[in-house]
A = this chain, B = another copy of it.
Amino acid sequence: MTTTVEPVLHESRAYTAHDHTTCINSALERATVICQEKGQRLTALRKQVLELVWQSHKPVGAYDVLAMLSKGQERPAAPPTVYRALDFLLEQGLIHRIASLNAFIGCSCPDTPHAGVFLICEKCRTTRELDSHDNIQNLKNAADSTGFKTSKTLIEISGLCPCCQEEASDE
């Protein structure tokens, strides 16, 4: 007998219309708590950058954040400002980096550190995080069985999200 492992979607709302302010607020609140518990300083800037990353369910480039951050400011922010904030958020596990897009996305389950599996829509870029712990473990095992010692896994899956598949079939 085989145990079927159901993949769990961390951010199940990514594809459907929803009150996105809830996503943002809950992300900010959780971040606040997490940083407090760890004795890390979620400064105003870092919080703002986190909020900007969470503006959508699509990965955001550092320079997009930079532009949003600078909007309306007399003196625009400089790249290191953003990269440092992003680095902090990465370290705290509050965001993930999507290597194939050179972009960043809010982590939908920052409470426990984890390697993400990302489903990236090639059409609309909406990106969903999959909790595929067993698959990751299997990969790790495969790697380690060759004598390798795994420290990080990076898994990015590109394709079409359900919405964009529908649109494609309409045409």
Contact = CB atoms under 8 A, between A and B. Distances in A.
A107 interface: no
A152 B157 CA distance: 6
Nearest to A121: B148
A154 B119 contact: no
Interface of A is mostly: mixed
A128 B146 CA distance: 10
A132 interface: yes
Contact of A140 (B146, B153, B154, B157): B157
**Residue from A148, A153, A154, A156 having most chain B Cβ neighbours under 10 A:** A148
Interface range on chain A: under 10, 10 to 19, 20 to 34, or 35 or more?
A: 35 or more
Contacts of A117: 139, 142-143
Nearest to A7: B142
A158 interface: yes
Interface of A: 5-7, 9, 99-100, 117, 119, 122, 128, 130, 132, 135, 138-140, 142-143, 145-162, 165
